[in-house]
Amino acid sequence: MVARFKKERAMKILLSIVLLLPLPVIAQDAGEVPDPTAKICSSREHRQFDFWIGDWNVTSNEQPAGTNSIQSIHNGCALQENWQGAGPGGISGTSFNIYDKATGQWHQTWVDSSGTLLLLNGAFVDGAMVMSGTRPARDGNGTALHRISWTPNPDGTVRQLWEASSDDGSNWAVLFDGLYTRQNSDL
């Protein structure tokens, strides 16, 4: 009886482990072994936002605005941003950025220490990464359209321009205009 109980328990544990495996691992043919060195996200489109990778000092109106660290993660399939605003009480935030091959668009999910969630989609257009999305307006009335562009400059800096519109893009207000300068200029 004890042996049967142990065997049933072992089977339940094994079943639990199998159910926790990622679906692609379970779905593989027995003869298929994924190549861990394969560059799944190596297309030209996947590399469009690589100019933003690095550790940056950020200024706005020539005043310190914060620091930002952008790293390539998940075998080059995504970028992770870690922002720290300048000064006491500076907002911290993180974004994940990925090129979605299925839609042909870039996607960013931003969350920060003030409780803001911003979901953006867009593309690399005319030498800049431009993404936009809507979210509830700050005053609670309706929604606001947000548009953020990141433009690589010839001197290696990057300009980030964040704008919002409450009239579906007819008029735009600048929320942030920042200049990114690499912390290590030898890169």
Asked if residue 37 is part of any domain, the answer here is no
Is the pLDDT higher at 78 or at 40?
Answer: 78
Question: Taking residues 30-35, what's their average pLDDT?
Answer: 58
Give a yes or no: residue 2 inside a domain: no
Each residue's pLDDT tens digit, 42-65: 999 999 999 999 999 999 999 999
Task: Identify whether 28 is part of a domain.
Answer: no
- Does residue 2 surpass a pLDDT of 90? no
The 8-class DSSP code of residue 47 comes to G
pLDDT band at 13 (very low <50, low <70, confident <90, very high): low
| Predicted local confidence at residue 127, as pLDDT | 97
In a domain, residue 18? The reply is: no
Q: What is the pLDDT of residues 80-139, one digit of tens each?
A: 999 999 999 899 999 999 999 999 999 999 999 999 999 999 999 999 999 999 998 888
Sign of CA dihedral 177, 123, 24, 79: negative
Residue 101 resides in a domain: yes
Q: What is the pTM of this model?
A: 0.78
Which residue in 125, 187, 124 sits closest to 156, CA to CA? 187
- Structural domain includes residue 16: no
* Cβ pair 130, 152 in contact under 8 A: no
For residue 97, give its domain range.
45-182
Q: What dihedral angle (degrees, nearest 10) is formed by the CA atoms of 98, 102, 104, 106?
A: -20
The answer to whether residue 13 sits within a structural domain is no
CATH number, position 113: 2.40.128.20
Looking at the chain, how many residues does it have? Answer: 187
Q: Does residue 36 lie in a domain region?
A: no
- Percent of the chain exceeding pLDDT 90 equals 71
